[in-house]
Amino acid sequence: MITYRHVDSPVGPLLLASADDGLRLIEFEAPWHPAKRDARWREGDDAVLRETRRQLDAYFAGKRRDFDLPLAPHGTPFQMQVWRTLAEIPWGETWSYAQMARRIGQPTATRAVGAANGRNPLPIVLPCHRVIGSDGSLTGFGGGLPTKRFLLTLEGALRADDLFAAAH
Q: How many CB atoms lie under 10 A from the CB of residue 61?
A: 10
φ, ψ of residue 88 to 5 degrees: the values are -85, -15
109 is catalytic: no
**What are the distances in angstroms from CA 134 to CA 55, 116, 122?**
31, 17, 23
- DSSP-derived secondary structure letter, 30: S
Active-site choice (116, 128, 138, 158): 128
Cα separation, 55 vs 59, in Å, equals: 6
* Coil, helix or strand at residue 65: coil
CA angle (76 as vertex; 71, 77 as ends), nearest 5: 85
Cβ count near 163 (within 10 Å): 15
Q: Which residues are catalytic?
A: 128
